[in-house]
Amino acid sequence: MGFKVLVETNTALFVEDIGPSDGETILFIHGWPLNHLCFEYQYNQLPKLGYRCIGVDLRGFGQSDKPWFGYTYDQLSDDIRVIIDKLGLKSVTLAGHSMGGAISIRYMARHAGHQIARLALISAAAPSFTRGPSFPYGMSKREVDALIQETYTDRPALLSQFADLFFERPTSEPFKQWFIDLGLAAAGYATAYTAVSLRDEMLWNDLSSIHVPVGIFHGKKDKVCPYEFGEILHALILGSTLYPYEGAGHGVFYCDQDVFNQDFSTFIQTT
């Protein structure tokens, strides 16, 4: 069932609610530059196990409104708070992939983990997406600037190149086109502005605000958010559990979908 929820700044976000209404609730937050449909291979399976899966298109992406403004982590996490409250969600597993993982961390800090029972960080773009003097992992700011520039000049080519980075295991050409189409459903300016947030926002100070069980799911061959991101998050988030995937890339939820889905369910059931 799909519908729209009005959040701040009169922006309507598209929400899809899949599975039994009385099941354990998982709220999925997609990453850059996709939308909630990237979790198709979780929506196919997890409801069979009794989970209620809720996918959200962030502002600017998918079927949500595409305002000119509001692409900071603060605003994006505020949008998630409104959705949780308007849907009356409680004891939620918040699952964020890539930039969605970064937004989920900001939500935990900015909203004191409101109604979140556990946090799943999937190939999270955190604690920093870009490298610096004391953080030698991830992209350089210049590399992200190049992504932003290509967003403005040839977004289909950017998405094609990103698809090749995203998955470690071979995918079919139709699957790659599906991935590109997910990205093209976003506004170009929203894709660019969220890339600015990826480039500039830091989450080091947010991590101490997390006081729920945390599962960190990360592919060892991730070319977008290196595996070291997951190791650092595991070291800095007390009591977290790290789930490594030897042959998986950034799209771990597809590269190792069967093992990932099982690990994800185990994480929920045991925390």
Residues assigned a catalytic role: 98, 222, 250
Per-residue 3-state assignment (H helix, E strand, C coil) for the chain: CEEEEEEHHHEEEEEEEECCCCCCEEEEECCCCCCHHHHHHHHCCHHHHCCEEEEECCCCCCCCCCCCCCCCHHHHHHHHHHHHHHHCCCCEEEEEECHHHHHHHHHHHHCCCCCEEEEEEECCCCCECECECCECCCECHHHHHHHHHHHHHCHHHHHHHHHHHHCCCCCCHHHHHHHHHHHHCCCHHHHHHHHHHHHHCECHHHHHHCCCCEEEEEECCCCCCCHHHHHHHHHHCCCCEEEEECCCCCCHHHHCHHHHHHHHHHHHHCC
